[in-house]
Homo-oligomer: A and B are copies of this chain.
């Protein structure tokens, strides 16, 4: 199968591209390297030292004999994107190429607007390019469980049957996204759904939970293939950050009470879920939604699991409850359906002591690269004007160091 991985230089995209290449598919990576630029902008780095895409792909070829094509450019540039679709003729496009951090989108107006315009225009361009040049291509789009928010009823997979005043219909599940980033994903969802109906495109929306872990069988082959391991407040996800905090002897930073419950999954399940979607495409005209996570945890439960694993390794691992910078319920009902990918064959890697050991182990291995100043949240959901200092720059600790010339 010819598969284009948009955003293939990023965290999930890289692991996915290697996995599908190893499975024998003809893979192309499309990327504009903006994820690397955001690290420069914010003054942060992934814990693991990642190489240039060129070096990574050369190592992959040397180790496995598999070639991955590269198309360097920006999805918001229609001429570039449509030429890629026309030239590569993908059977499947996997679309990871969006600004995917909620805190980033909440920094200020510029970051909010950038996130929404970037994600919305890139996806619109892709829809028009598919319609024009490859209308039978299957679009596999990364959404997020955060589109649903935390309703007081069970969350279904994309749609819900509603009975009302003696009539019934199956309708899109109501969305209550909690940041400008999550909002951008809801906008995408509505746009893609419409294009499936209007033009007969076929799409699978993967509403992914919070991903943890860094190693897959493929990235573990060689250090040149290592994946990102982000732990800063902007791009680091909860479990990854907790493991690195524990390894650094820093308290584990839980926002508020930690009763925020979400769906989580191992990155090894991310790549398998995406593969399942590719191998079982939506029908023409169908907009299909899978909830892509394997287990639910509260943030405090995760913190306690990391704490227990860290203590077995002789680490201190205290838990600190910080004021919650986000606008979210700190305790709430949460029960989300996630059976469609299981029905199609997913066998989850559940969160285990050995996985936590391995993550903390990686953190210890690269402990000299840990920058503790990026653990603490500086982006406040309620008061975005405080997220910049007097001269209009972002007020992250690392950024402040850079700005002051240290």
Contact = CB atoms under 8 A, between A and B. Distances in A.
A385 B190 contact: no
Number of copies of this chain that the complex holds: 2
A11 interface: no
B174 A172 contact: yes
Interface string A149-169: 001111000001011110111
Contacts of A178: 194
A190 B194 contact: no
A54 interface: no
A234 to B, nearest CB: 18
Contact of A168 (B113, B153, B177, B179): B153
A317 to B, nearest CB: 32
A389 to B, nearest CB: 16
Given A113-B121, A382-B198, A174 B173 contact: yes
Of the listed residues A163, A183, A194, the one surrounded by the most CB atoms of chain B closer than 10 A to its CB is A194
Given A171-B176, A190-B177, A194-B178, A128 B152 contact: no
Which 4 A/B pairs are nearest by Cβ-Cβ distance? A152-B169, A171-B174, A109-B128, A153-B164
B151 A169 contact: yes
A67 interface: no
A175 interface: yes
A164 B171 CA distance: 13
Interface in A350-406: 381-382, 384-385
A141 to B, nearest CB: 16
A331 interface: no
Contacts of A152: 167-169
A161 B100 CA distance: 31
A112 interface: yes
B120 A199 contact: no
A333 interface: yes
Interface string A181-201: 001001100110010011100
B167 A333 contact: yes
A301 interface: no
Contacts of A165: 153-154
8 contacts: A153-B162, A153-B169, A154-B164, A171-B174, A183-B187, A183-B190, A197-B327, A198-B381
A163 B175 CA distance: 16
Nearest to A381: B198
A391 to B, nearest CB: 17
A382 B199 contact: yes
Contact of A177 (B113, B175, B194, B385): B194
Of the listed residues A171, A178, A385, the one surrounded by the most CB atoms of chain B closer than 10 A to its CB is A171
A68 interface: no
A128 to B, nearest CB: 4
A310 B395 CA distance: 67
A153 B172 CA distance: 13
Interface in A110-126: 112-113, 116-117, 120-121, 124-125
Given A152-B169, A172-B176, A187-B190, 19 more contacts: A109-B128, A112-B128, A116-B120, A117-B117, A117-B120, A151-B171, A152-B168, A153-B165, A160-B162, A160-B174, A162-B162, A173-B174, A175-B190, A183-B190, A183-B191, A186-B187, A187-B187, A198-B327, A199-B382
